Amino acid sequence: MFLGLAARVDGATVASIEHALYEKRSVVRMLGMRRTVHVVSVELVPIVHASSTRAIAARERKRWVDLIEHGGISTSPTRWLAKTENDTLRALRARGEATAAELARDVPALKTQIKFGEGKKWAGLVSAGSRVLFLLAADGRIVRGQPRGSWTSNQYRWAPMSSWVPPGTKEPSVRAARAVLVERWLRTYGPGTVADLKWWTGWTAGEVRHALSDLAVEEVELDHGPGIVLAGDGAPVRAATASAALLPSLDTTVMGWTGREWLLGPHGPRLFDRSGNPGPTVWWDNRVVGGWTQRRSGEVVYRLLEDVGGQAIEAIEAEAARVADWLGPARVTPRFRTPLERELSS
Dihedral of the alpha carbons of 283, 344, 249, 126, in degrees to the nearest 10? 170
Return d(Cα 43, Cα 238) in angstroms, integer.
Answer: 31
3-state secondary structure 15-35: HHHHHHHHHCCCEEEEECHHH
Give the single-character DSSP code of 272. Answer: B
Residue 208 lies in a domain: yes
Return d(Cα 203, Cα 188) in angstroms, integer.
Answer: 19
Q: What is the pLDDT along the chain (346 residues), one digit of tens a residue?
A: 999 999 999 999 999 999 999 999 999 999 999 999 999 999 999 999 999 999 999 999 999 999 999 889 999 999 999 999 999 999 999 999 999 999 999 999 999 998 888 878 888 888 999 999 999 999 999 999 999 889 999 899 999 999 888 888 899 999 999 999 999 999 999 999 999 999 999 999 999 999 999 999 999 999 888 999 999 998 888 888 999 999 999 999 999 999 999 999 999 999 999 999 999 999 999 999 999 999 999 999 999 999 999 999 999 999 999 999 999 999 999 999 999 999 999 8
Neighbour count for residue 329 (Cβ, 10 Å): 6
Q: Across the chain, which distance is largest between two alpha carbons, in Å?
A: 68
Residue 34 lies in a domain: yes
Same domain for 296 and 183, yes or no, is: no
Among candidate residues 105, 128, 163, the one where a domain is terminated: 163
Residue 239 lies in a domain: no
Residue 101 lies in a domain: yes
Residue 291 lies in a domain: yes
Determine if the peptide bond prior to 191 is cis (ω within 30°). yes
Same domain for 50 and 128, yes or no, is: yes
Tell me how long the chain is: 346
Same domain for 144 and 6, yes or no, is: yes
Instruction: Please provide residue 96's backbone torsions phi and psi, each rounded to the nearest 5 degrees.
Output: 90, -60
CA-nearest of 45, 50, 52, 48 to 165 is: 45
Host domain of residue 257: 244-345
Q: Are 112 and 128 in contact (CB under 8 A)?
A: yes
Same domain for 254 and 225, yes or no, is: no
Q: How many structural domains does the chain have?
A: 3
Between the alpha carbon of residue 187 and those of residues 222, 236, 279, 288, 306, the distances in Å are 17, 14, 26, 22, 31
Query: In 3-state terms, what secondary structure has residue 114?
Result: strand
Q: Which residues pair with 301 in a beta bridge?
A: 293
List the Cα angle 173/29/156 in 5-degree steps. 140
264 sits in which H/E element = helix 261-264
Same domain for 201 and 92, yes or no, is: no
CA-nearest of 336, 196, 188, 182 to 262 is: 196
Among candidate residues 135, 163, 191, the one where a domain is terminated: 163
The structure's pTM equals: 0.92
229 sits in which H/E element = strand 225-230
List the Cα angle 46/129/148 in 5-degree steps. 75
Same domain for 210 and 309, yes or no, is: no
Between the alpha carbon of residue 306 and those of residues 69, 79, 195, the distances in Å are 55, 58, 29
Return d(Cα 49, Cα 142) in angstroms, integer.
Answer: 13
In order, the DSSP letters of 294-336 are E-TTS-EEEEESS---HHHHHHHHHHHHHHHHHHTT-----SS
